[in-house]
Amino acid sequence: MTYFLYYTLPRIRWALSILLLCLGLLSAWVALDTPLPSSAAVCERLNREHYVTDNTILASGPIQYQELRGDYVPKSTWWFVGRQGDTMQFYTLDRLAGFLWRPADTLPFWQLDLTQQEDPIYCNLFGSQPDIGLAFEATPVVICTDPRVVRVEAQLISLGISERADPQAAIDSHGVSPTFTQVADGVWAAPSTLAPGPSDDSVAIWLAWCQGYDADGNLICQDSPTS
């Protein structure tokens, strides 16, 4: 009995404490959407879930919002762009505690089929959904598969219902044009950009219209205004 009280019982308590600690850490890990210590590992997990193989991450960067509305917008998010053959992959990840990564709650992954695009240039907007009558903020990332393009531009707008019949007029009226920096071959990024809300105080949609230019400043390609 003495041996059990002074030797066996403390070891059982110690083992149970370790087990409970491990279960608690496992529960917290699952509750945080199973974060991993590598962004590449999270992107690879998303690739497997969407049957993407032999993918290459081309570029990434932080989404540093100018305006945060409470907990609606994550305060530490990053964008990633990858490519697999004729498809582009776009990822949005949250960084936790400075070293853990997990898929963002809003649109963590989606793909663009380049063969379905009429134009070789496309602007993706990483950001929050616009509220009714309010501005939206997004980090614009432009991809272009035309090797002649060395500089890109884009006009962004939060478009109201009454403006959708003529999006070009709305862009000319109150669109914003951020400055892009090339971050990889065929990939350009701009800082997080705030676009004013629609003039008619209606439900808004994002709109981006981008253009690509060669070294001499000639317009090589452009897409139509699309949300």
CB contact at 8 A, 32 and 95: no
CA angle 166, 172, 175 (to 5 degrees): 100
Give mean pLDDT in consecutive 10-residue pieces for the chain, a chain of 227 residues.
55 52 42 72 93 94 74 74 96 88 88 92 80 71 96 89 80 89 97 78 77 97 75
CB contact at 8 A, 97 and 80: no
pLDDT of 173? 81
Residue with tokens 């992954």: 109
CB contact at 8 A, 182 and 147: no
pLDDT of 29? 42
Name the phi and psi angles at 79, rounded to 5: -105, 150
pLDDT of 11? 56
Query: Rounded to whole angstroms, how far apart are CA atoms 198 and 110?
Result: 27
The beta strand positions in 38-99, using DSSP E, are 56-63, 77-84, 87-96
Report pTM.
0.81
Closest by CA position to 92, among listed 163, 16, 165, 101:
101
Query: Rounded to whole angstroms, how far apart are CA atoms 31 and 48?
Result: 21
Q: Count CA atoms closer than 13 A to 208's CA, side-chain side.
A: 24
Closest by CA position to 33, among listed 127, 133, 105:
105
pLDDT of 186? 96
- Please name the amino acid found at residue 131: D
Query: Rounded to whole angstroms, how far apart are CA atoms 215 and 222?
Result: 16
